[in-house]
Amino acid sequence: MNTLKVNVEHALNHLSEEELKRMLPEVLAAKEHLLKGDAAGNDFLGWVNLPEEIDPKMLARLKDDVARLTGKSRLLVVIGIGGSYLGARMVIEALQSEFASMVRRENPYVVYAGHTLGEDYYSQLLALLDHEDYSVCVISKSGTTTEPAVAFRIVKAHLEKKYGKDEAAQRIIAITDARRGALHDIAQQEGYPAYVIPDNVGGRYSVLTPVGLLPIAMAGYDIDRLLQGARDMRALCQSKDSLEDNPALMYAAVRNALYRRGIKVEMLVSCLPNLRYLAEWWKQLYGESEGKEHKGLLPHSLSITTDLHSMGQYVQDGERLMMETMLRVQRPNSTVPVPTDERNLDGINYLTGKSLTEINACAAEGTIQAHVDGGVPVVEINVDSINEYTLGQLIYFFEFACGVSGYTLGINPFDQPGVEAYKRNMFHLLGKPGF
Ligand code: PA5
């Protein structure tokens, strides 16, 4: 059942309904390009039907590997960068306790590497790994990215020293290209269990491949429900042709219409702290897909109410260049009412008995009103609750809307030529042969 709704009511003081309606033919044409595969980047459209086409044999093997490694690991080190780790981290952090590292759990706790070159980070990680049983999931589509390659060399050496080469090989899973790249070759020569990132799925669209599914399952979450949410959202996004019935078309239409009105920055605002990596994943998805040819909304994020006490002033009163997309969750997974206090020294007895969700909802309403009054258009994305199913829906919704939005913007949403520039300079400075 679809619980995701896009509400543009609070953007309509910046746009007329007519302007929004005029976007429909353009977003429909963009949707057709995605479904027919007849536009730029069409060799990277594997994600469009991925939730339906995922191989059940691969899923069964993945679950076997998860069960085998879960039995002997307290930690899983996920090594990857960009699209090769953000999707898994988004889902795991949205679902796990904020204090997961401090509480006993049945499944391994996931720690990350390969997303940074901070030397102290690795020294602290190795110190932790000295004392914990662990396994490694190394992920790189190209198999040649420097950051995860360096991290894997460091962690592999530690793992082999700790368990011996044979047992280490039983504790490593590689997720990479089917044929090419250094990671593919290492996995073959060392005999690591390996999974393939399909050729036609780019890194930032890969969370529903083993790239996301394996770490998420290792952390103990239900990947079948995640895939079901994505499947149901796929059916909706692909079948409906009106802005009212198709949330992805509405979202793509409203953000492009606002961009044409001069908006330069889109802030994804979430009301829950455990959605901070959803914002990081979304930033990569939209920034890397649309930031081309000197075009595209700059993706930024806020968490409320936390950031209202740091960024609120700017949003309310600074340069008028932004829109907000507020991600609102209707129901919490647990409740904490405000207790009563006879003496009421803090003066908040008027809140007694209210849940934090009610208070947070009033904060969100108050924020929307204030920001709209301050000249910031607000788009709301409402979901019923946060669980595997609704996260699957959100993933497919944001991916499909991104493809539609990118084609509407007039760029290829599936390449990333700009990511290469820093690498060439870095390789030259490091003395890599050929640079
Ligand atoms: O989305 C992308 O293509 C990038 O962010 C990549 O995911 C990132 O650069 C990592 O690349 P790779 O998986 O090849 O190591």
- Which H or E run contains 6? strand 5-7
Q: How far apart are the C-alpha atoms of 116 and 7, rounded to whole Å?
A: 37
User: Among 26, 147, 266, 288, which one carries the catalytic annotation?
Assistant: 288
Pick the closest to residue 65 from 184, 209, 218 (CA basis).
218
Q: Based on the domain organization, do 217 and 305 belong to the same domain?
A: no
Q: How far is the CA of 114 from the centre of ligand 1 (A)?
A: 11
Pick the closest to residue 115 from 73, 78, 161 (CA basis).
78
pLDDT for res 418: 85
pLDDT for res 177: 95
Q: Based on the domain organization, do 235 and 372 belong to the same domain?
A: yes
pLDDT for res 201: 97
Q: How far is the CA of 142 from the centre of ligand 1 (A)?
A: 7
Q: Please report the sign of the dihedral spanned by the C-alpha atoms of residue 121, residue 124, residue 126, residue 131.
A: negative
What are the phi and psi torsion angles at 49 (to 5°)? -110, 10
DSSP state of 307: G
DSSP state of 327: E
pLDDT for res 257: 98
Q: Based on the domain organization, do 150 and 261 belong to the same domain?
A: no
Residue 309 is among the residues annotated as catalytic for this protein: yes
Query: Tokens 């619980």, residue?
Result: 3
pLDDT for res 419: 82
Atom of ligand 1 nearest to the CA of 197: 13
Atom of ligand 1 nearest to the CA of 142: 14
- Per the structure, how many domains does the chain have? 2
How many Cα atoms occupy the beta-carbon half-sphere of 178 within 13 Å? 5
pLDDT for res 327: 97
Q: Based on the domain organization, do 237 and 215 belong to the same domain?
A: no
pLDDT for res 250: 98
Provide the token pair at 345: 């020294």
Atom of ligand 1 nearest to the CA of 204: 1
Domain ranges, residue 20: 5-41+229-409
- For residues 80 and 211, the answer to whether their CB atoms sit within 8 Å is yes
Q: Does residue 423 fall inside a structural domain?
A: no
> What are the pLDDT tens digits along the chain (435 aa)?
788 999 999 999 899 999 999 999 999 999 999 999 999 999 999 999 999 999 999 999 999 999 999 999 999 999 999 999 999 999 999 999 999 999 888 899 999 999 999 999 999 999 999 999 999 999 999 888 999 999 999 999 999 999 999 999 999 999 999 999 999 999 999 999 999 999 999 999 999 999 999 999 999 999 999 999 999 999 999 999 999 999 999 999 999 999 999 999 999 999 999 999 999 999 999 999 999 999 999 999 999 999 999 999 999 999 999 999 999 999 999 999 999 999 999 999 999 999 999 999 999 999 999 999 999 999 999 999 999 999 999 999 999 999 999 999 999 999 998 887 888 888 888 898 888
Q: Does residue 184 fall inside a structural domain?
A: yes
Q: Based on the domain organization, do 203 and 294 belong to the same domain?
A: no
Residue 31 is among the residues annotated as catalytic for this protein: no
Q: Based on the domain organization, do 183 and 54 belong to the same domain?
A: yes
Q: Based on the domain organization, do 131 and 28 belong to the same domain?
A: no
User: Among 72, 162, 264, 423, which one carries the catalytic annotation?
Assistant: 423
Q: How far is the CA of 414 from the centre of ligand 1 (A)?
A: 12
